[in-house]
C-alpha cells in the first residue's frame, strides 16, 4: 500500500530456468570399458528421472525508509541419475573428479556404487520411486544417486578412479602383464576363445615372475574396440619380451640375461646354450654366405628416448620422461628417438625404466645376425641362446646370440635372425657373464624304445568307415617319433605310417568307481608317462567332448584338470559313458589316453575283424636320425575288433484296430522304439515270433521288405526277420488270442549291428477290448506349410478311427474336419482362430468324451526393412527374413494402372522393367493367406546402363587388348627374314600349346623386303589367329573363356568388335549400319528423339520448364516434410506427415 507521499516500488528479478534435464554425457552404443588395473574414466549416463527445479528467493529493501523491495529468484536443479562406469566386478572407486574439483571419497558425492557383480540388486530408490526403471544392470558397474545438477540443469562432468580387475596380480594398483594377456586370450566372456591348454604354462609363469621381479606392472583400460594382437604386442614391447606361437601354444621369453630380484621374488633367466653352431651346421644363403650380419645405421641409433605415459600421481594426466646415454651423446652427439607412447604405464618410475631399456637396446643391440639351418635344428625357437662360429668370412668365434625370429623355409630349412646382447644391457644393477659350460648337443643320441603303447578300437562316431584302431605312443627325452610297422603273420612287416610326436597317455593312480553320466562325485587321478600337459576346459568344451579321454574301454570327458604332482593330475567333472561305452569302475594302473590329433590311426576292413595283427615301432631321435632296426624292437599284438553299436531303448508294442477298404476291421501291432544317441545309427532290423504256427502266412505290411534270416544265429528257426525301419514298424493282419514277440537290433549305415542276444524284446497278446474309449490326450497343432494335428493314441479299447471336428456333434458329417485311424493328420481349419474337438471311436460304435483345443494363428506382421536395389533392366525387392511358418511374400507393384501381385517363396523378388514409376508394397504369406502390407514405396526405374556394367566392358576390353597384343608380338617374333623369296611353314607343339605358322618373304623392286605371315596359336583356354605384313597392317581374332574380339589395325587406326557376357562394344573411326534397323529397349538417339516416344507417366526430371503443362501430382519428397501440387491444390506437410497448409480450390 502506498505511503502518504507516494507508494514504494516492488521489483522481481527471475534469472530464468530450464524445464528438462540437459544430457551431456550419454552415448548410445558405446563400448563398455573393461579396466584391468586402476585408471581414470569418464561416466556415461545410463538412466535419469525425477528432474526437480528448486526455487530460491532473496529479498532486499531499498529507498528511503525501505519503501522499495527487490526480490531475486534463482534456481537449482536435482535429478536421479545412473552413470555407467565399466564392466564388473570392480574392487571400488578411489578419487572422484567433479568438473575441476577433486573429492576424496565417493560418499561425498551422494552417489552409491554398484560394483557390477552378477545378480547385483536394483537401486532401492528406483524400486520405490520409479519401478518401471528398476533394472539391476547385472555385470555392469555403475553409480546412482539423487544429485545436484549444474546451473543449466545439466549433469556435471564426472570422472572416477576405477579400481578394476586383476589388481591382486600386481601391486594392488596395477596388474601383472602376464595376467592381463591371459585375460585377453582366455576370459570366458571377453577373451579370444583360447584356453589354458593353448598357453605354454612354464613360459607364462616365468614371464609373470619376471614382471613381478622387475616391478613392471601396468594398467590396461580397454575403452575402445582394439585388435587383441596389437594390445598384446604393446604389452610385450613395454616388458621387452618375445611372444610367439609354437607347438600349438603361446610362449613368452623375456629378453633378460641376468638374475632380477624384487617384490619378494627372484627371476633367473635360462642361459643354457642350446647349440654351438659352426660351419658344419650352417646352410649357405642365397648370397653364398653362411652367416650375414647387419648393423643399425648411426642415424637410427638413438641415445635419447622419450616415453609418454599416464601419470597416476598427477590426476592421470599424460606426461613424458627422457632417458639419455651421456657417454654416447658425448661421442656422437644427441640422436633423439621420436616419442614412444605407452599409456598402459601409470608411474614415472616404470616409464623411466622402459625408456632406459629402449635406449640401451638401441645403442648396444645394433648387430643382427642371419643364418640358415637344417631340420636337425628345427627345435630352435625365439629366445634360445646359441653361439656362432664362422671365422673365415664373418670373423665370429663362439659369439653368443639370442634368437629373435625363426621362419620355416620350405620343408627342409629354417631362417633365423638373432641379436648379440651383452650382459647388463637392460639391467644396470649388475653386468653378468655367460656360463662357462654350455650344453653339448649330440645329434646321434640313442632315441630309446617307446613307452608301453595303448592300442584300442576307436569310437565309431569319430571315424569315417567305423573301423579304426588308434594307438597312443610316446618315448623318453631323446625320442622324436617312430615308424609304425604291421604284420598279419608275425614275420614280414609293412610300414603303414610315421608318428612325429608323442601322445599324452599314462595310468590311473587311484581307482575310480562307476558313477552317473554327469559325474561330479568321482575324480580321475592320472599320471602321465609321456611328455605334455593336461589343461582344463570350459563348460562348452566338456559338453562338446573337446577333452575326450580313453580309460580302459570307457570314453569320458573332463572339465577341470588340477596339477597334483610331477605329471600327476586330478580330473574333475566327468562326462562318462560317451558314445555308448559302459560306465564301470577302473582300478589302479588302468590305461589312460587323451584323445587328440597326436594319436596314430589305422583303418581296417570288415573281413579283417577278429584277426590278430603284430605291430612294431622303430624310434628315431629328436633330430630325426638314429632309426632303430626292426630286429631290435619288441612286437605288440592286437585283435581287430568289431564296432560297438548301442541298443535301442523304450521299445513298445501297441495294438490297433484298423478299418480296411471293405469296412472290415483288422488288428495290427505297432512297434516303436527310441534310436540310440549316436550319429552312426541308420536303422534297426526287426525280428518277430508268434504263438501261431503259420504266422508267416498272414497278410502283413512288410511284404516288400527283405526276407532273410540272421546268419550264425542258433535260434533262427524261432525268430523271423521281417524288415528294417528307423523307429517304428506296423505288423498288420494279426489274429486275436495270438501272442507276438518283437526284437529290435540297431544297425549302422555300414550294417554293423548291436548284440543280437542283448537286443530288447517286447511281447503282446491280441485281445478284444470293448471298453468305452478314454478321452484322447495331448491334442496339439503345428502350423508349417500345412496344418498338422496330433495326439496320443487311446489304448484302453479297440479304436477304429478318430474324428476331428469344429463342434461337438460327433458322427455328423457337417463340421467334421477329418476322420482317420492314425494319431496324426494334416488338414486345414476354415479360419485362423477357433476351437477343434477330437473324439475316439471303437468297434462297438462308442465315442469317447471330447478333448478340445483352442488355436490361434495370427496373421503375419507387415514386413520390415523393405529395400529396393537396381539391377540391369529391373529392380530387386527384399525385406526381413520370412517369419516361422510363412510360405513366402506377395509383392504388390502398381505402375499407375493398378496393382499386380507377384509371389516369391523367399524374402526377395526380381522385377524386370525397362523404365517407369512404380508404387511397391510387400506382405508375408502363410498357409491361411497374406498378412499386413508394408508401407508403400515409390521407385523410379531409369532407362540407363548401370556403371558397373560399363566397368565390366572396360575390364573385358583391357583383358582382350592384352591377349591381342601378346598374339601379335608372338607372331612377329616368329619371322625369319634371312630367307628372301622363300616360303616357310611350321607347326610347333609344347605341353600347353600348338602353334601353326605360314610365312612368305619377298624382295620388292625398290629393294625393300616384304614379309607376309599368318599364325594360329591354340591353348587350353585361348585361341588367337593373326594375319600381318609386319609393317603397318594386321588383323586378329582372339577368343578365350571370357570374351571374343575381332580387330583390324592399319596406320594407327583400329576397328574392333568385342563381345563379352555383359556387353558388346563396337569401336571404329566410322560405323555404318545399312538397311532397316530395329533396336529394342532403352533407345537414346543423339540429337534426336522420335515424336511421341515420351509420355507423362514416363517422366522423372530434376527440373521442368514450360509455358503451360497438364500435370498429375508433383511431390518434393515421398514422405515427411514436403510440398505437393495436384488438382488446383498446393499441400504442405510437416516432418510428421501432418498437413499444415492447403491452398487452392477443393
- Give residue 124's pLDDT: 93
Contact 147, 109 (CB under 8 A): yes
Contact 328, 303 (CB under 8 A): yes
> Structurally, what CATH architecture does the domain formed by 649-695+715-766 represent?
Sandwich (2.60)
The confidence score (pLDDT) of residue 1010 equals 57
What per-residue confidence (pLDDT) applies to 708? 34
Q: What confidence score (pLDDT) does residue 660 get?
A: 64
Q: Which of 259-268, 353-362, 415-424, 819-828 has the lowest mean pLDDT?
A: 415-424
Q: Name the fold adopted by 445-503+598-644.
A: Immunoglobulin-like (2.60.40)
Instruction: Determine the pLDDT at residue 544.
Output: 93
β-sheet bridge partners, residue 617:
484
Please return the burial class of 680, using the count of CB atoms within 10 Å of its CB with bins 0-12, 13-18 and 19+: buried
Return the pLDDT at 8.
54
Whether residue 66 has pLDDT greater than 80:
no
Report the mean per-residue pLDDT for the chain: 83
- Predicted confidence (pLDDT) per residue in 659-669, tens digit: 666 666 778 88
State the pLDDT at residue 23: 56
Residue 89 pLDDT grade (very low, low, confident, very high; cuts 50, 70, 90)? very high
Residue pair 934/923 in contact (Cβ under 8 Å)? The answer is yes
The residues, any chain, with a CB within 8 Å of residue 877's CB and separated by 6 or more, are 866, 867, 868, 891, 908, 909, 910, 911, 920, 922
- Looking at residue 440, its pLDDT comes to 45
**CA-to-CA distance for 575 and 544, rounded, in angstroms?**
10
Determine the average pLDDT of the residues in 270-277: 88
Residue ranges in 303-345 assigned as alpha helix (H) = 326-332
Question: For residues 1073 and 661, which has the higher predicted lDDT (pLDDT)?
Answer: 1073
| pLDDT given for residue 9 in this prediction | 61
DSSP helix/strand/coil, 169: helix
Whether the pLDDT of residue 962 is over 80: the answer is no
Between 983 and 781, residue with greater pLDDT: 781
Per-residue pLDDT at 702: 34
141 or 18: which leads in pLDDT? 141
Residue 1093 has pLDDT above 60, yes or no: no
Res. 375 pLDDT band, cuts 50 70 90? confident
For residues 435 and 251, which has the higher predicted lDDT (pLDDT)? Answer: 251
Q: What is the mean pLDDT of residues 69-78?
A: 76
**How many Å apart are CA 922 and CA 935, to the nearest integer?**
8
Q: Is the pLDDT of residue 976 over 70?
A: no
CA-nearest of 506, 505, 451 to 479 is 451
pLDDT for 992 beyond 80: no
649-695+715-766 and 777-856 have identical folds: yes
Residue 905 pLDDT more than 80?
yes
For the residues 706-721, what does the mean pLDDT come to? 48
Can you name the CATH fold of 866-941?
Answer: Immunoglobulin-like (2.60.40)
User: What pLDDT score was predicted for residue 1006?
Assistant: 47
In this predicted structure, the answer to whether residue 425 has a pLDDT above a threshold of 90 is no
Instruction: Give helix 201-213 / helix 177-186 axis angle, nearest 10°.
Output: 140
Residue scoring higher pLDDT (998 or 385): 385
Q: Which residue has the higher pLDDT, 876 or 1127?
A: 876
- Over residues 597-627, the pLDDT tens digits come to 999 999 998 888 888 999 999 999 988 888 9
Q: Is the pLDDT of residue 190 over 60?
A: yes
Residues 486, 487, 493, 496, Cα dihedral to 10°: -30
- Phi then psi for residue 607, to 5 deg, are -70, -10
Task: Give the least confident one: 88-92, 805-809, 879-883, 1076-1080.
Answer: 1076-1080
Q: Identify the H or E element spanning 970.
A: helix 947-973
pLDDT at 1049: 80
**Local confidence band at 696 (pLDDT 50, 70, 90 cut-offs):** very low
pLDDT exceeds cutoff 80 at 1090: no
Which pLDDT score is estimated for 920?
Answer: 95
Check residue 439 and give its pLDDT: 44
CA–CA distance, 421 with 401 (Å, rounded to integer): 7
Q: What is the pLDDT of residue 1091?
A: 43
Domain boundaries, the chain: 11-165, 170-176+186-269, 445-503+598-644, 507-585, 649-695+715-766, 777-856, 866-941, 1113-1144
pLDDT digits 0-9 by tens, 861-901: 999 999 999 887 889 999 999 998 899 999 999 988 888 99
The pLDDT of residue 4 is 37
According to the model, what pLDDT value does residue 1088 have?
42
Of 854, 810, 852, 813, whose CA–CA distance to 832 is shortest? 854
User: What confidence tens digit (pLDDT) does each residue in 435-477 have?
Assistant: 334 344 566 789 999 999 999 998 888 887 778 999 999 999 9
Question: Tell me, what's the pLDDT at 418?
Answer: 95
Among the ranges given (125-129, 573-577, 877-881, 974-978), the one the predictor scored with the smallest mean pLDDT? 974-978
What percent of the chain has a predicted confidence (pLDDT) above 70? 82
Q: Answer yes or no: is pLDDT of 774 > 70.
A: yes
Percent of the chain with pLDDT over 90: 47
Full DSSP string of 467-509: -EEEEE----TTEEEEEEEEESSSSS-EEEEEE-S---EEEES
Q: Please tell me which residue, 126 or 409, carries the higher pLDDT value.
A: 126
- How much is the pLDDT for 717? 44
DSSP 609-660: TT-EEEEEEEEEETTS--PPPGGGS-EEEEEPPPPP-PPPEEEEEEEEEEE-
pLDDT for residue 593? 96
Q: pLDDT tens-digit profile of 142-182? A: 999 998 888 777 888 899 999 999 999 999 999 999 999 99
Query: Which CATH number describes the domain made up of 777-856?
Result: 2.60.40.10
Point out the least confidently predicted range of 102-111, 644-653, 818-827, 1031-1040: 1031-1040
Model confidence at 1031: pLDDT above 70: no
Task: Please say if the pLDDT value at position 431 is more than 50.
Answer: no
What does DSSP assign to residue 707?
-
Query: Average pLDDT in the 35-52 region?
Result: 92
Helix axes 177-186, 228-238, angle to 10 degrees: 170
- Read off the pLDDT of each residue in 560-576 and give the average, rounded to a whole number: 95
Amino acid at each position: 500500500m502506498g505511503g502518504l507521499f507516494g507508494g514504494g516500488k516492488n521489483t522481481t528479478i527471475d534469472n530464468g530456468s530450464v524445464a528438462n534435464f540437459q544430457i551431456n554425457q550419454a552415448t548410445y552404443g558405446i563400448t563398455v570399458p573393461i579396466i584391468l588395473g586402476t585408471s581414470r574414466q569418464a561416466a556415461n549416463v545410463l538412466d535419469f528421472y525425477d528432474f526437480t527445479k528448486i526455487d530460491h528467493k532473496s529479498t532486499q529493501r531499498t529507498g528511503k525508509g525501505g519503501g522499495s523491495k527487490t526480490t531475486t529468484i534463482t534456481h537449482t536443479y536435482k535429478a536421479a541419475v545412473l552413470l555407467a562406469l565399466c564392466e564388473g566386478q570392480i574392487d571400488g572407486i578411489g578419487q572422484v573428479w567433479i568438473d575441476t574439483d577433486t573429492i576424496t571419497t565417493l560418499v561425498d558425492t551422494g552417489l552409491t556404487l554398484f560394483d557390477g557383480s552378477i545378480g547385483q540388486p536394483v537401486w532401492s530408490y528406483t524400486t520405490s520411486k520409479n519401478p518401471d526403471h528398476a533394472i539391476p544392470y547385472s555385470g555392469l558397474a555403475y553409480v546412482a544417486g539423487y544429485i545436484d545438477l549444474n546451473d543449466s540443469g545439466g549433469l556435471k562432468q564426472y570422472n572416477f578412479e576405477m579400481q578394476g580387475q586383476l589388481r591382486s596380480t600386481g601391486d594392488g594398483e596395477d596388474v601383472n602383464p602376464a595376467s592381463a594377456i591371459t585375460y585377453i586370450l582366455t576370459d570366458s566372456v571377453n577373451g579370444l576363445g583360447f584356453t589354458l591348454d593353448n598357453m605354454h604354462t612354464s613360459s607364462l609363469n616365468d614371464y609373470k615372475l619376471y614382471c613381478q621381479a622387475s616391478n613392471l606392472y601396468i594398467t590396461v583400460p580397454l575403452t575402445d574396440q582394439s585388435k587383441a594382437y596389437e594390445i598384446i604386442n604393446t604389452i610385450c614391447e613395454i616388458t621387452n619380451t618375445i611372444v610367439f606361437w609354437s607347438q600349438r601354444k603361446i610362449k613368452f621369453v623375456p629378453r633378460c640375461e641376468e638374475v632380477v630380484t624384487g617384490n619378494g621374488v627372484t627371476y633367473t633367466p635360462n642361459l643354457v646354450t642350446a647349440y654351438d653352431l659352426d660351419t658344419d651346421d650352417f646352410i649357405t644363403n642365397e648370397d653364398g654366405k653362411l652367416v650375414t650380419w647387419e648393423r643399425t645405421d648411426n642415424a637410427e641409433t638413438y641415445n635419447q628416448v622419450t616415453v609418454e605415459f599416464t601419470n597416476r600421481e598427477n590426476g592421470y594426466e599424460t606426461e613424458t620422461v627422457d632417458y639419455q646415454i651421456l657417454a654416447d651423446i658425448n661421442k656422437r652427439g644427441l640422436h633423439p628417438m621420436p616419442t614412444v607412447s605407452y599409456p598402459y604405464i601409470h608411474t614415472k618410475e616404470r616409464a623411466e625404466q622402459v625408456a632406459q631399456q629402449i635406449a640401451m637396446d638401441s645403442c648396444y643391440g645394433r648387430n643382427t645376425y642371419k643364418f640358415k639351418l637344417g631340420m636337425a635344428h628345427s627345435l630352435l625357437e625365439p629366445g634360445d641362446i646359441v653361439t656362432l662360429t664362422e671365422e673365415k668370412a664373418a670373423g665370429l668365434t663362439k659369439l653368443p646370440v639370442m634368437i629373435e625370429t625363426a621362419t620355416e623355409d620350405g620343408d627342409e630349412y629354417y631362417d633365423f635372425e638373432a641379436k648379440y646382447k651383452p650382459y647388463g644391457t637392460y639391467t644396470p644393477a649388475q653386468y653378468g657373464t655367460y656360463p662357462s659350460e654350455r650344453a653339448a648337443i649330440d645329434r646321434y643320441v640313442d632315441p630309446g624304445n617307446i613307452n608301453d603303447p595303448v592300442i584300442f578300437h576307436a569310437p565309431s562316431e569319430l571315424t569315417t568307415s567305423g573301423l579304426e584302431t588308434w594307438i597312443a605312443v610316446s618315448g623318453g627325452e631323446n625320442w622324436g617319433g617312430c615308424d609304425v610297422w604291421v604284420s598279419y603273420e608275425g614275420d614280414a612287416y609293412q610300414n603303414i605310417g610315421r608318428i612325429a610326436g608323442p601322445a599324452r597317455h599314462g595310468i590311473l593312480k587311484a581307482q575310480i568307481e562307476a558313477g552317473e553320466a554327469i559325474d561330479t562325485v568321482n575324480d580321475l587321478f592320472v599320471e602321465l608317462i609321456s611328455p605334455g600337459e593336461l589343461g582344463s576346459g570350459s563348460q562348452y568344451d566338456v559338453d562338446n567332448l573337446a577333452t575326450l579321454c580313453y580309460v580302459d574301454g570307457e570314453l569320458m570327458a573332463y572339465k577341470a584338470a588340477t596339477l597334483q604332482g610331477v605329471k600327476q593330475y586330478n580330473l574333475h567333472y566327468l562326462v562318462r559313458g560317451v558314445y555308448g561305452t559302459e560306465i564301470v569302475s577302473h582300478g589302479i594302473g588302468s590305461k589312460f589316453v587323451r584323445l587328440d590329433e597326436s594319436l596314430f590311426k589305422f583303418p581296417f576292413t570288415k573281413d579283417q575283424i577278429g584277426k590278430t595283427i603284430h605291430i612294431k615301432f622303430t624310434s628315431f631321435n629328436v633330430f630325426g636320425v638314429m632309426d632303430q632296426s626292426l630286429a631290435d624292437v619288441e612286437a605288440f599284438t592286437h585283435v581287430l575288433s568289431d564296432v560297438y553299436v548301442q541298443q535301442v531303448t523304450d521299445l513298445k508294442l501297441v495294438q490297433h484296430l484298423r478299418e480296411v477298404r471293405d469296412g472290415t476291421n483288422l488288428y495290427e501291432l505297432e512297434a516303436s522304439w527310441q534310436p540310440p544317441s549316436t550319429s552312426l545309427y541308420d536303422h534297426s532290423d526287426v525280428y518277430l515270433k508268434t504263438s501261431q504256427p503259420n504266422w508267416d502266412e498272414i497278410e502283413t505290411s512288410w511284404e516288400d521288405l527283405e526276407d532273410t534270416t540272421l546268419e550264425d544265429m542258433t535260434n533262427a528257426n524261432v525268430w523271423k526277420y521281417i524288415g528294417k525301419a528307423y523307429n517304428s514298424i506296423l505288423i498288420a493282419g494279426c489274429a486275436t488270442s495270438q501272442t507276438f514277440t518283437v526284437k529290435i537290433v540297431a544297425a549302422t549305415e555300414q550294417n554293423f549291428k548291436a548284440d543280437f542276444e542283448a537286443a530288447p524284446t517286447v511281447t503282446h497278446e491280441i485281445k478284444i477290448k470293448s471298453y468305452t474309449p478314454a478321452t484322447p490326450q495331448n491334442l496339439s497343432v503345428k502350423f508349417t506349410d500345412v496344418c498338422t494335428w496330433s495326439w496320443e493314441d487311446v489304448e484302453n479299447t479297440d479304436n477304429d478311427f478318430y474324428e476331428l471336428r469344429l463342434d461337438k456333434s460327433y458322427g455328423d458329417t457337417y463340421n467334421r474336419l477329418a476322420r482317420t485311424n492314425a494319431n496324426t493328420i494334416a488338414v486345414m481349419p476354415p479360419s485362423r482362430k477357433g476351437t477343434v474337438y477330437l473324439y475316439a471311436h471303437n468297434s462297438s460304435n462308442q465315442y469317447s468324451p471330447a478333448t478340445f483345443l483352442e488355436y490361434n494363428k495370427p496373421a503375419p506382421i507387415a514386413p520390415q526393412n523393405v529395400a529396393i536395389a537396381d539391377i540391369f533392366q529391373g529392380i530387386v525387392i527384399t525385406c526381413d527374413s520370412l517369419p516361422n511358418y510363412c510360405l513366402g511374400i506377395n509383392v504388390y507393384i502398381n505402375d499407375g494402372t493398378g496393382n499386380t501381385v507377384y509371389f516369391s517363396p523367399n524374402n526377395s523378388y526380381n522385377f524386370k522393367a525397362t523404365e517407369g514409376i512404380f508404387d511397391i508394397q510387400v506382405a508375408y504369406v502363410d498357409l491361411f493367406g497374406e498378412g499386413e502390407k508394408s508401407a508403400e514405396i515409390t521407385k523410379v526405374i531409369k532407362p540407363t546402363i548401370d556403371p558397373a556394367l560399363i566397368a565390366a566392358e572396360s575390364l573385358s576390353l583391357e583383358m582382350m587388348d592384352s591377349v591381342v597384343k601378346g598374339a601379335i608380338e608372338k607372331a612377329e617374333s616368329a619371322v625369319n627374314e634371312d630367307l628372301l623369296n622363300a616360303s616357310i611353314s611350321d607347326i610347333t607343339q609344347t605341353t600347353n600349346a600348338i602353334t601353326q605358322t605360314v610365312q612368305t618373304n619377298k624382295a620388292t623392286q625398290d629393294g625393300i623386303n616384304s614379309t607376309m605371315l599368318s599364325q594360329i596359336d591354340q591353348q587350353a583356354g585361348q585361341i588367337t589367329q593373326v594375319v600381318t605384313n609386319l609393317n603397318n597392317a594386321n588383323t586378329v581374332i582372339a577368343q578365350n573363356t571370357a570374351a571374343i574380339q575381332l580387330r583390324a589395325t592399319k596406320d594407327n587406326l583400329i576397328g574392333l568388335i568385342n563381345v563379352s557376357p555383359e556387353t558388346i562394344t563396337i569401336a571404329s573411326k566410322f560405323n555404318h549400319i545399312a538397311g532397316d534397323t530395329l533396336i529394342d529397349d532403352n533407345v537414346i538417339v543423339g540429337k534426336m528423339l522420335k515424336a511421341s516416344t515420351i509420355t507423362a507417366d514416363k517422366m522423372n526430371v530434376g527440373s521442368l520448364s514450360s509455358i503451360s503443362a497438364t500435370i498429375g501430382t508433383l511431390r518434393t519428397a515421398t514422405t515427411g516434410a514436403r510440398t505437393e501440387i495436384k488438382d488446383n491444390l498446393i499441400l504442405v506437410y510437416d516432418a510428421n506427415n501432418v498437413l499444415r497448409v492447403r491452398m487452392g480450390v477443393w
